[in-house]
Amino acid sequence: MPVFSQQRMRITLLSLCASLALFSCTTKEQKLASALEPFDRFITGNEILDSIPDSMASRFVSFAAEFPANKKSPNYLFAAAALFEKQGKTYRAAQTFESFLTRYPKEPRTEKAYIGAAHNYELSGNFDKSRELYEQFLKTYPQSPMVQSVKDNLPLIGKSPEELLEIIRKKAAADSVKSAAPAQP
């Protein structure tokens, strides 16, 4: 009977150790997730509401980086990018949107992440990266309702205000010539 007790104690100890190891591996993720949980209701499928403090952006990024497989990580990373954009941190927003694209290419918001990354790179002065992402967007989403807008924007990236004004003047002149031309029978 003492042998049976020793075996039973070993099994019990092994089970306890395994449980503790499993619990300790998930505890940090669970703790961080529960700390972020009050903000989940403000993160919807497509919009980030103004009710999230700007300071949460870095916490969202940290969570997504540490636990990329967590089902909430895509939402947190997208929310972080939108918060950085809201704060005017355009380069950080662009990087975070691009990180979203890399980590979660099958997520429903990848179209918006492409546009967000390209737009914020453009605002931060990284015109080559902006063009690259807009072109990737056109190849990846040729049927998107945003295609024409992206095509219209591509030649304008990096232009000075004076150059943009000249482009507008030329387009207006060309449009007025077309409207003044007599209709062909």
pLDDT bin (cut points 50, 70, 90) of residue 121 is very high
Q: For the chain, which residues make up each domain, given as ranges?
A: 34-168
How far is the C-alpha of 112 from the C-alpha of 1, rounded, in Å?
Answer: 68
pLDDT bin (cut points 50, 70, 90) of residue 168 is confident
Query: Which residues partner with 43 through β-bridges?
Result: 48
How far is the C-alpha of 123 from the C-alpha of 1, rounded, in Å?
Answer: 77
Classified as helix, coil or strand, 43 is strand
Helices (H), 37-146: 56-66, 73-86, 90-103, 110-123, 127-140
The answer on pLDDT for 133 being more than 80 is: yes
| pLDDT value of position 137 | 97
User: Does residue 89 contact residue 80 with C-beta atoms inside 8 Å?
Assistant: no
Helix (H) or strand (E) holding 175: helix 161-180
> Tell me: the pLDDT tens digits for 66-101?
999 989 899 899 999 999 998 899 999 999 999 999
> Tell me: the pLDDT tens digits for 7-50?
545 444 434 443 444 445 457 778 777 767 766 666 664 455 66
Question: Is residue 144 left, alpha or beta, with left meaning phi > 0 and alpha meaning psi from -120 to 50?
Answer: beta
Nearest to 59 by CA among 84, 36, 41, 82: 36
How far is the C-alpha of 16 from the C-alpha of 3, rounded, in Å?
Answer: 20
Tell me the residue type at 145: P
pLDDT bin (cut points 50, 70, 90) of residue 136 is very high
Report domain 34-168's class: mainly alpha
Tell me the residue type at 57: A
